[in-house]
Amino acid sequence: MSVQEPPGPDEPPTEATKGARIDEPAPFAPPERAAAPEPTPTVPASEASWSRPAGSAAPPTSVPAADAFADRPEVLVGAAFAGGFVAALILKRLGR
């Protein structure tokens, strides 16, 4: 019985060598493609201005929660203090 050489990387397998190599991983299905991201909304020509030319990225329609306290950070600190105080009172009552 003669042993045949497996095909090289540039050669396709022949009928005699198909299935002869056991060191290769089993074939698998290619991964499904993820959905394409949504395009960035742009400023239409009717709403263009000097600071926002037509075709540039449109300004966000909603303000993120983190920016709500950008002008008055002391309100955020006060809310955190009040929340901590209420939590301390609740824990004090539970400890009795």
Question: In which band, very low, low, confident or very high, does the pLDDT at 77 lie, cut at 50, 70 and 90?
Answer: very high
Q: Which residues contact 43 (CB under 8 A, 6 or more apart)?
A: 52, 53, 54, 55, 56, 57, 58
pLDDT digits (tens, 9 = 90+) for 15-62: 555 655 566 666 666 677 777 788 888 888 888 888 888 888 887 776
Q: What is the mean pLDDT of residues 67-78?
A: 82
For residues 10 and 83, the model is more confident at 83
* pLDDT value of position 64: 60
pLDDT at residue 88 greater than cutoff 90: yes
Helix, strand, or coil here: 9?
A: coil
Q: Is 19 left (phi over 0), alpha (psi -120 to 50) or beta?
A: left
* pLDDT value of position 11: 65
pLDDT at residue 75 greater than cutoff 80: yes
What is the Cα–Cα distance from 71 to 81, expressed in whole angstroms?
Answer: 19
Cβ-contact 69, 76 below 8 angstroms: yes
Q: What is the mean pLDDT of residues 71-83?
A: 90
User: HSE of 80 in the Cβ direction (CA atoms, 13 Å)?
Assistant: 6
